[in-house]
Chains A and B, each alone.
Chain A
Amino acid sequence: MGADHHGPAKGLTRWLFTTNHKDIGSMYLWFSFAMFLLGGSFALVIRSELFQPGLQLVRPEFFNQMTTMHGLVMVFGAIMPAWVGLANWMVPLMIGAPDMALPRMNNWSFWILPFAFTMLSLTFFMDGGAPNFGWTFYAPLSTTYAPPSVTYFIFAVHLMGMSSIMGSINIIATIMNMRAPGMTYMKMPMFVWTWFITAFLLIAVMPVLAGAVTMMLFDIHFGTSFFSAAGGGDPVLFQHVFWFFGHPEVYIMILPAFGVVSEVLPTFSRKPLFGYSSMVYATASIAFLSFVVWAHHMYTVGMPIAGELFFMYATMLIAVPTGVKVFNWISTMFRGSMTFETPMLFAIAFIILFTIGGLSGVMLSLAPLDFQYQDTYFVVAHFHYVLVQGALFSIYCGVYYWLPKWTGHMYDETLAKTHFWMTFIGVNTAFFPMHFVGLAGMPRRIPDYSLQFADFNMLSSIGAFITGFSQLIFVVVLLKCIKGGKSATDQVWDGAQGLEWTVPSPAPYHTFTIPPQVR
């Protein structure tokens, strides 16, 4: 088997032609980080404009492009590829597989993404500017009243969908087919379980998104009237199709987060995960429920009362499996021998802050109350708590947790903790006041606001800039860790369990070419 252990090819072609899950995982993560900085810079434009009331920096049309592109880039370019990158790196290592099931398709899934986002970004330089209809691209804003660049947006979404579907097929095939002997489904690490279910969600809903943008394309270019009442269609149809994709999509972004946190907490509590099987069933329940709650995003659009009630109760049900998870995490830590390295800090912050986001979600699920909250900054606060303090924090949690395994070096703990605390302060300063201005009625996606919102908005903007610049600390930590530092042991963390900790640090280019035996 000696011939198998040669290293990677040299130079650019290594990355262009690779079939290695670790290379592809790294490319996904670097791409995601680049998109995170791009989307973050859009956010800072938004927050600069909102620093004070009145129009200072940008025109309203450009502000709309910023909010739209911020959302699209963060959702499809930063969060989702980061999860796929972590899955690529860790799933084969965690289940004892030599690589992903379909290695060439794996590389194809990745390389479609930079192309799609280049095309999407080029829309800034087209006549009429970039997409300006919000990341939810409701018709008729995105059809009748859209800039010409919408065609490029539609095709970019098609490409992202193809990438996600191929990536998910690969992950599902890997998990179903490539587990080491003895690794039964109920022995799989939680991160693998959550990704298994996430991949199923992706394959189920990305084609529906493709269907939605295809109907837009036909309305724009081929004279159909799906979203035009003049021809018998209905703009609300767009919202139904979009949110049939969109709601599972938010779980696609958060389920792997549950997985990462369920890996990290036992390690640093030095106790096994509390209630493993209930975690699995809770994840599956959340995924199932995600298909029957979509219209809670559209209570105010005018639905029959029976629909409002159905979607309200179904949505509130989601709090049950989510609660199971939160209690399990807390029970995992209970009487554990805990230490607080950076991954653990991110994990604990995740539990607290994600729960805040979850509770504001329960508030939003109540149809009568949602009539007040709809399209206010309360909604913005809610989904930033679940996506930034939830998804992003757990991505950082996972990255810090596995970074020594990837690079072979321990990162600089002091700097990393500084990164954590600065980010923690930044995001809470940025997003917590949004609850208040939202409840007081400040609408989202508007470049100007009434004077009474001025103080909280200034605070939010300061928080956003703290968050933004704190990410530069992460760049330093990352580069330092890649270049050198204290050597990491194979196990890295003394409480760490699982196959990924049995291989050397840094993980060799090829691992588990002979499947390990799991007892």
Chain B
Amino acid sequence: MAHGPSGGHETYYVPESSKLPIFATVGLGCTILGAANTLNQIKAGTGGMSMLLPVGFAFFIFVLWQWFATTIRENMAGLNSAQLKRSYVMGMQWFIFSEVMFFFAFFFALAYVRMLAVPWLGGEGDRGISNQLWSGFAANWPMMQTPQEAVEAAGGAQLMAKNGIFTSAKEVVDWTTIPLLNTALLVASSVTVHFAHTALKAGKRQALTLWLLVTLALGFVFVGFQAVEYHHAYTDLGLTLASGIYGSTFFLLTGFHGFHVCLGAVMLTVMFLRATTKGHFTPEDHFGFEAASWYWHFVDVVWICLFLFVYIL
């Protein structure tokens, strides 16, 4: 629908109709259904991965690719008024806010178990009576003996263990090793992506490419180190998802963060390719890049909280 400026206002571009949303629903739906089938089949021992999962996911990514391509084409065709661009900016800002709240739930869980649930199980504080069910358990963090193990060690009856065997880790990850290095890497990458942004605004394309490349390198090295740390945790330290609540919170928080780093790195890779191979972005108009860089700063801030609350404290 073509609009011309009228009455002193630029009109707002509303696409006439679009196949993208319904196809995205089909892709997302198949992915989710496939994931649920896969998990249930594995748990029941009746099969492995449902083919819906990879096929649906590939289709979903394809549709998203088309979707982003469409919005880029529209912007380059000059359809996006300043007002419409603000809508995209707000969309990204509020999306990041929703991600903040997602992590908030896990940090909340960590705080609750550390400050309340585990001390209570160990017989301390207001609800210390919980310890009667888990006699022999003493509150400890990082949890080097789960309540289940403590009861077993004390020769007591094993209560409420139907849902799993929780074996505590021999040792936990030392924050002065890989985590400290990773903190340096991610903070540095936040600075370099800012340099890339400044370069873009100054019209220095080469500096943009360079700093973006450095950012990506730092990001991928971070993910690599994280993988090394997980391998070390599983094979050497005995720290797994099943290592009681310490392993649960450790892997869920760092894992979801790592997943978001990967997502941010993919976004920045796309921005890198757009900037280098397609010559996209101008000093005035580069919201795709800016959104990806916001996302990158967001994962950096989450990491700093993780480093503090999961690794050090």
Minimal beta-carbon separation of B162 from chain A (angstroms):
6
Cα–Cα, bound, A104→B70 (Å): 11
Cα–Cα, bound, A3→B1 (Å): 8
B97 proximity list for chain A (CB < 8 A): 203-204
Stretch among A230-238, A329-337, A407-415, A439-447 lining the B interface = A230-238
Q: Which of A433-488 contact B (CB under 8 A)?
A: none
Question: Per a CB cutoff under 8 Å, which of A14, A112, A177, A207 touches B87?
Answer: A177
Q: Are A226 and B245 in contact (CB under 8 A)?
A: yes
Stretch among B111-119, B176-184, B213-221 lining the A interface = B111-119
The interface size of chain B toward A, counting residues with CB under 8 Å, comes to: 85
When A228-B166, A230-B160 are in contact, do A104 and B36 touch as well, CB less than 8 Å?
A: no
Question: Per a CB cutoff under 8 Å, which of A99, A211, A229 touches B12?
Answer: A99
A99 proximity list for chain B (CB < 8 A): 12, 14
Question: Per a CB cutoff under 8 Å, which of B4, B28, B83, B248 touches A231?
Answer: B248
Q: Does B252 contact A (CB under 8 A)?
A: yes
Minimal beta-carbon separation of B163 from chain A (angstroms):
4
Question: Per a CB cutoff under 8 Å, which of A17, A228, A514 touches B163?
Answer: A228
User: Per DSSP, are chain B's interface residues mostly helix, strand or loop, or mixed?
Assistant: helix
Minimal beta-carbon separation of A2 from chain B (angstroms):
11
B149-180 interface code vs A (CB 8 A; 1 in, 0 out): 00000000001111110100000000000000
B134 proximity list for chain A (CB < 8 A): 229
Minimal beta-carbon separation of B85 from chain A (angstroms):
10
Q: Are A224 and B247 in contact (CB under 8 A)?
A: yes
Question: Per a CB cutoff under 8 Å, which of B15, B33, B95, B130 touches A229?
Answer: B130
B238-282 interface code vs A (CB 8 A; 1 in, 0 out): 001110111111011000000000000000000000000000000
B3 proximity list for chain A (CB < 8 A): 1, 4, 513
Q: Are A234 and B163 in contact (CB under 8 A)?
A: no
A303 proximity list for chain B (CB < 8 A): 127
Q: Does A178 contact B (CB under 8 A)?
A: yes
Question: Per a CB cutoff under 8 Å, which of B42, B87, B133 touches A101?
Answer: B87
B313 proximity list for chain A (CB < 8 A): none
When A155-B32, A204-B101, A233-B245 are in contact, do A19 and B15 touch as well, CB less than 8 Å?
A: yes
Q: Are A223 and B240 in contact (CB under 8 A)?
A: yes
A158 proximity list for chain B (CB < 8 A): 32
Q: Are A231 and B245 in contact (CB under 8 A)?
A: yes
When A105-B91, A241-B105 are in contact, do A234 and B113 touch as well, CB less than 8 Å?
A: yes
Q: Are A19 and B12 in contact (CB under 8 A)?
A: no
Q: Are B11 and A228 in contact (CB under 8 A)?
A: no
Cα–Cα, bound, A2→B40 (Å): 56
Q: Are A19 and B17 in contact (CB under 8 A)?
A: yes
Q: Does A140 contact B (CB under 8 A)?
A: yes
Q: Are B104 and A3 in contact (CB under 8 A)?
A: no
Minimal beta-carbon separation of B147 from chain A (angstroms):
6
Q: Which of B180-215 contact A (CB under 8 A)?
A: none
Q: Are A207 and B102 in contact (CB under 8 A)?
A: yes
Cα–Cα, bound, A276→B241 (Å): 53
Q: Does A169 contact B (CB under 8 A)?
A: yes
Stretch among B18-26, B229-237, B289-297 lining the A interface = B18-26
Cα–Cα, bound, A19→B67 (Å): 14
Q: Are A304 and B244 in contact (CB under 8 A)?
A: no
Q: Does A506 contact B (CB under 8 A)?
A: no
A168 proximity list for chain B (CB < 8 A): 94
Nearest opposing residue in chain A for B256, CB measure: A214
Indicate the size class of the contact surface on chain A: 35 or more
B251 proximity list for chain A (CB < 8 A): 224
Minimal beta-carbon separation of B18 from chain A (angstroms):
5
Q: Does B77 contact A (CB under 8 A)?
A: no
Q: Are B12 and A107 in contact (CB under 8 A)?
A: no
When A229-B130, A229-B160, A230-B166 are in contact, do A208 and B83 touch as well, CB less than 8 Å?
A: no
Q: Are A231 and B244 in contact (CB under 8 A)?
A: yes
A119 proximity list for chain B (CB < 8 A): 29, 32-33, 36
Q: Which of A1-45 contact B (CB under 8 A)?
A: 1, 3-4, 9, 13-14, 16-20
B62-84 interface code vs A (CB 8 A; 1 in, 0 out): 00000100000000000000010
B130 proximity list for chain A (CB < 8 A): 229
Q: Does B39 contact A (CB under 8 A)?
A: yes
Q: Which of A147-180 contact B (CB under 8 A)?
A: 148, 151-152, 154-155, 158-159, 162, 165, 168-170, 172-174, 176-178
Q: Does A418 contact B (CB under 8 A)?
A: no
Q: Are A305 and B126 in contact (CB under 8 A)?
A: yes
Q: Are B244 and A241 in contact (CB under 8 A)?
A: no
Nearest opposing residue in chain B for A217, CB measure: B39
Q: Which of B84-114 contact A (CB under 8 A)?
A: 86-88, 90-91, 94-95, 97-99, 101-102, 104-106, 108-109, 112-113
Q: Are A241 and B113 in contact (CB under 8 A)?
A: no
Given contact pairs A17-B21, A119-B29, A233-B245, enumerate 15 new A-B contacts (beta carbons under 8 Å).
A3-B2, A14-B17, A16-B22, A144-B162, A148-B43, A152-B36, A177-B86, A212-B105, A221-B43, A223-B240, A230-B164, A231-B148, A231-B245, A234-B112, A244-B105
6 sampled A-B residue pairs with Cβ under 8 A: A97-B12, A103-B14, A211-B109, A226-B248, A228-B163, A233-B244
